[in-house]
Amino acid sequence: MKHRIVVLGAGYAGAFAAGNLARRLSPADAEITVVNAVPDFVERMRLHQLAIGQDLAFRKLADVFAGTGVRLRLARVTGVDPERRTVAVTGEDGDGELAYDTLLYALGSSVAHHGVPGVAENAFDVTGRSSALRLRERLAGLGEGGTVLVVGEGLTGIETATEFAESRPDLTVTLAARGELGAWLSPKARRHLRQAFDRLGITVHEHTGIEAVEPTRAIAADGTSLPADVTVWSAGFAVHPIAAAGGLEVAETGQIVVDRTMRSVSHPDVYAAGDCAYAIGENGRPLPMSCASAGYTNMQATAAIIARLTGSEAPTTGLKYYGNHISLGRRDAIFQMVDGDVRSKSWYLGGRTAAFLKSGVLKGAGWSIAHPTFGMPKRKRRLATAPDRAGVRAAA
């Protein structure tokens, strides 16, 4: 019987991992199934572009995995049972259950409301395609002088505010920052960021925590009212409680606690990658939820799964950040180098060159997902105990 590998989620982490597993493992021994709620690969890093009205081409996952042997199940994950090694799903064909021998959990994250009143009812976000399209429709209906408030001074907030201001100069764009704008950047990069905001006419309210969101305004902690026809909430990410509900050991964030190989510390048949993995980087700190972390963790998880199933030693991939890359519209960007403790170095790259580099990163990520068979070995690796699932589990 074939070893059943189930991958939950086909974002940056899940889609790349599924393609890598298909490249490396013999289809005679391994059966790979990907479960995803939507039929397309969604480039999350570009959803702020979609929201402001730019046309983006989405690749069909069926086309991405065509010819790889990967099975695609379009369904929403509703539960996991790591004791029974099953996953509960619901889709157009109703409710169902998938059994697995190895599970790669890569369901990603969604917007974090932080319990702020009115966010769920009144705010918009760009963490998913459906929410970005909802925001796109709302923005399209705003006339000249419409006000947009972006809440959050992280990478998503900065990229969203600058993209909106550049694409729609007829709108008034404001950003509410809980701390100082670009506080983590080097002095020169911070100056570049502020100059970009000034050039685009974006007003920044620093040290302004938002305590409530209403249909036409947001209320700051000091009682200040910030007018907003549209409030875009970009104040962090949160994971779905499915893993915790299923009995997997999770951190306070709800992320699955994993070892250095991205293997669950409580259930050895489960691996995690991307935003849902609570992984410790080389600096001793948890990896942040980001596309870069998705890349590091999915490479480590797939390498460990392949090694485990083929009876070889699991290699370790690097879990070290080298910099932050921030788009400031289509023609400007910042690439900030960081040290081993993720502290900004004095050197940074800005302007059109940095924007060109960021564009290359986005295109490269999309291309790698769209070509899962690129570099496929002539001979795929056979499983060490292919006919015996129990033997594989015992060897673990």
Rounded average pLDDT over 189-211: 97
What is the rounded CA–CA span in Å between residue 95 and residue 78?
Answer: 9
Mean pLDDT of the chain: 92
pLDDT tier at 346, thresholds 50, 70, 90: confident
At 390, is the pLDDT very low, low, confident or very high (cuts 50, 70, 90)? very low
Q: How far is CA 91 from CA 37, 229, 279, in A?
A: 8, 35, 31
pLDDT at 343: 83
Is pTM beyond 0.85 here? Answer: yes
Among all chains, which residue has been given the structure tokens 């921030």? 326
Convert the pLDDT of each residue in 315-338 to its tens digit.
888 888 778 899 999 999 999 988
Q: How far apart are CA 340 and CA 279, in angstroms?
A: 16
- Average pLDDT (254-274) is 97
Q: Report pLDDT for 388.
A: 44
- Given a cut of 60, whether residue 84 has pLDDT beyond it is yes
* Fold for the domain defined by 113-233: FAD/NAD(P)-binding domain (3.50.50)
CATH number of 3-109+239-322+360-395: 3.50.50.100
Average pLDDT over residues 174-200: 96
Token pair, residue 196, equals 């970009």
pLDDT confidence bin for 379, thresholds 50/70/90: low
Among the listed ranges 64-78, 278-292, 373-387, which one has the minimum average pLDDT value? 373-387
Same fold flag, 3-109+239-322+360-395 and 113-233: yes
Strands annotated E in 157-200 = 172-176
What was the pLDDT predicted at 1? 87
Q: What is the pLDDT of residue 378?
A: 52
d(CA 183, CA 222): 22
Compute CA distances 239 → 112, 152, 183, whole Å. 8, 18, 26
Give the tens place of pLDDT for each residue, 87-142: 999 998 889 999 999 999 999 999 999 999 999 999 999 999 999 999 999 999 99
Q: pLDDT tens, 144-172?
A: 999 999 999 999 999 999 999 999 999 99
Q: How confident is the model at residue 360 (pLDDT cuts 50, 70, 90)?
A: confident
Cα dihedral 78, 264, 128, 16, rounded to 10, equals -110
pLDDT in tens, 215-258: 999 999 999 999 999 999 999 999 999 999 999 999 999 999 99
User: What are the structural domain ranges in the chain?
Assistant: 3-109+239-322+360-395, 113-233
